[in-house]
Amino acid sequence: MSFVRRADPATAYTDNLYIHKFATPGSNFAARRFSSDTQLFRYGTEPYNGEYGHMGFTGSPSGAFQNSFCSQQASLTPYHVTADGRSPSVADTQSNSCSDAAKDSPVVSNVSQQNSQSVSDSQSSEIEVEFDEDEVRLKLQELEQALFDEGDDILFEISQAGSINDEWADPMKNVLLPNSPKESESSISCAVSNSGAARSPKQLLFDCAAALSEYNIDEAQVIISDLRQMVSIQGDPSQRIAAYLVEGLAARIVASGNGIYKALTCKDPPTLYQLSAMQILFEICPCFRLGFMAANYAILEACKGEERLHIIDFDINQGSQYITLIQFLKNNANKPRHLRITGVDDPETVQRPIGGLKVIGQRLEQLAEDCGVSFEFRAVGANLGDVTPAMLDCRPGEALVVNFAFQLHHLPDESVSIMNERDQLLRMVKGLQPKLVTLVEQDANTNTAPFLTRFREVYDYYSALFDSLDATLPRESPDRMNVERQCLAREIVNILACEGPDRVERYEVAGKWRARMTMAGFTPCPFNSHVISGIKSVLKSYCDRYKFEEDHGGLHFGWGEKTLIVSSAWQ
C-alpha cells in the first residue's frame, strides 16, 4: 500500500511547495500542492509494505539480510524479495559463492595486494623501477592531508554502556560464514571487555571496524553477531545508526555492498504520483532544504536584470530545487524574461516513464506556465564523463549558471582513476564561462580517508543526521523510516563496504572543495547580507540545535557541533 497517494490528477501547482506540520504521527507533516484547494502528494501513516517495502530493511537489519548469505558457500543475494516475489536483477547476477565473495572483499583483497610484487617488463627497458603501490598511495594521502586539513581533529570518546532494549524480532544466527559462531555457542562474547565490563554498541562498532582494518575477520564476525542482538532500526537514533553501521561492516566482509547499493533506488519514485525517498529527505531535513535555498538565492542575486537565464544541472533529481525557484520568480519584479534549464542524466534515466528526466521537465513546464514564467526545459541523455560543451547548447545573450547539488562527490577523482572525472568536469564547466557556479555538498571525508578513519567520519556524520531527524519526525513515522532505509542506509553501506570504483559516495570536506574549485580556475563568490539574513530568518522556525554559520564565503548548515551541508558559489 502506498504511503503517498494522488488526490486529483487534474490540478496544477501554486505557491505552497513545502508545508511542515511537525505534529503527531497520524498527521500529515508535509504536502506538495498543485492548487489552493487540492493536494497532489499526500502523506499517510500506512506502513511500507508496498512499493518501498520490497527492497528496504524490514523490521530490523538482520531481518532484511536474512538468508542473504548461504550456509556452505552458496550465492550471495542481499535483497532477494521484491513485490512480485522475484529477486532483483542485481541480486540475480551475484552467483558467486561466499568464498568467492570473500576473495573479492576489500578486507581480503587488501591482504593479497600487500603480498603481491610488481613485475616489470624486461624487454621494454634496461632500467627497472620497483615501487610499493600501497606506500605511494599512503604518501599521497599524507600529502593531501597536509595540504587540505582544516585542523579539525577527530576526537572520539567511547560512550559508557547505556540502557539498551534487546528487541530483535528475528536475530541472525550463523549469518556471515559457515563457521561463524552462533551466540549460544560463543565461548567468549565480544560484548564484554577484557576487564569484564560490558561494552556499549558504539564501542563495539569501533572495535569491529578496527578489527577489519587489521584484517581480523574472525573477531569482527563475533562482534557483529553480538551487535545484532543489541540494536534496532526502530530504536533511538543511536540504535538506528548502529544497526545500519553493523550491516555495512558485515557487507564489507563478504563484498556485498555494491549489490545492496544498486538494489536500493532512493532517487526513483515508485509511481508517477509519489515522492522518492530522496525527495522526502530533502523536505524533512532543514540542512538539505536550506542548502538548496542558498543556491537559489545566489542564482537570483547573480542574475538580477538579466533578460535570459540558462541553468545547467548535472543532477536535477526530481526537480525539487527548481520548483521553489520558479515559484519565487512568480512575483519577482527582477525575474529574467526567459528561464531555460538543461538537465543532464544517463540515457536510461532520461527516458524512464516514472521519475525520468523528461517527465520532470514536463512537470516544471506546467508549473512555470501556471506561475506565468517563460520557461524551457531540455533533457540531455549522457553519462557525465561523456558530456561535451556542444551537448549543452549554450546560446549568446544568456546568463549561464551551472548548479552542482550533491552530484560532484559521485564522480571519481585522482585517487580512483587517472582520468579524474571530477576535476575534468569542473575544467569543462569553467571553459563555458558561466556567470555563476553553485555547489551544494555534504561536509565529510569519505573519499581518500583510510577505512578506520572513514568509519569514524561516517559515525560522526550520520549520528548527527539521524539525531536531527528526531526533531523533525517521530521515530515511528513511516516517512522517516523509509528515508533511513532507502537513502541513509544505502549511503552507509556503500561507504563502508565498497572500495575503488564501486565506492561512489565520496564526500569531501569544505576545504578540499575550495581547493578543488580554485585549481579549476574558479574564485569564491560570497553570499551577500540579504541572503544570509533570509537564511537566518527561515532557520528560526526549526529546532535551535540546527546551526548555521558563514565560513570562507560558504554557508555551513549542521546539527549541534557537526556541519552536515555546505553551500557555496563560484565565478
Q: What does the alpha-carbon distance between residue 426 and residue 521 come to, in Å, rounded to a whole number?
A: 9
Give the full edge-to-edge strand order of the sheet including 31-35.
4-6, 38-43, 31-35
Q: What is the pLDDT of residue 271?
A: 65
pLDDT in tens, the chain (571 residues): 333 333 343 333 333 333 333 333 333 333 333 233 333 233 333 333 333 333 344 444 444 443 333 333 333 333 333 334 343 443 344 444 444 444 455 655 554 444 444 434 444 444 444 556 666 666 666 665 655 544 443 333 333 333 333 332 333 333 333 333 333 333 334 555 555 578 899 999 999 999 999 999 999 999 999 999 999 999 999 999 999 999 999 999 999 999 999 888 777 776 665 678 888 898 889 999 999 999 999 999 888 889 999 999 988 878 889 999 999 898 887 788 999 999 998 877 776 767 788 888 999 999 999 999 999 999 998 888 889 999 999 999 999 999 999 999 999 999 999 999 999 999 999 999 999 999 999 999 999 999 999 999 999 999 999 999 998 899 999 989 989 998 999 999 999 999 999 999 999 999 999 999 999 999 999 998 888 988 999 998 898 999 999 999 999 999 999 999 999 999 9
Q: What does the alpha-carbon distance between residue 80 and residue 88 come to, in Å, rounded to a whole number?
A: 6
Q: What is the pLDDT of residue 283?
A: 86
DSSP states along 295-360:
HHHHHHHHTTT-SEEEEEES--TTSHHHHHHHHHHHT-TT--SEEEEEEEE-HHHHT-TTT-HHHH
| Residues ≥6 apart with Cβ < 8 Å to 122 | 128
| Extended beta strands in 46-161, E state | none
| Residue 51 half-sphere exposure toward CB, CA atoms < 13 A | 16
| Residue 166 half-sphere exposure toward CB, CA atoms < 13 A | 4
Q: Is 400 helix (H, G, I), strand (E, B) or coil?
A: strand
Q: What does the alpha-carbon distance between residue 248 and residue 507 come to, in Å, rounded to a whole number?
A: 17
Other beta carbons less than 10 A from residue 150's beta carbon: 11
Complete domains list, the chain, with CATH? 199-263+445-504 (no CATH), 285-443+507-570 (3.40.50.150)
Q: What is the pLDDT of residue 381?
A: 87
Query: Phi and psi (nearest 5°) for 339?
Result: -115, 130
| Residues ≥6 apart with Cβ < 8 Å to 110 | 215
Other beta carbons less than 10 A from residue 381's beta carbon: 17
Q: What is the 3-state secondary structure (H, E, C) of 422-469?
A: HHHHHHHHHHCCCCEEEEEEEECCCCCCCHHHHHHHHHHHHHHHHHHH
DSSP states along 136-180:
HHHHHHHHHHHHH--S-----PPPPP-------SS--SS-SSTTP
Helices 489-497 and 237-254 cross at an angle (nearest 10°) of: 40
Q: Is residue 308 left, alpha or beta, with left meaning phi > 0 and alpha meaning psi from -120 to 50?
A: beta
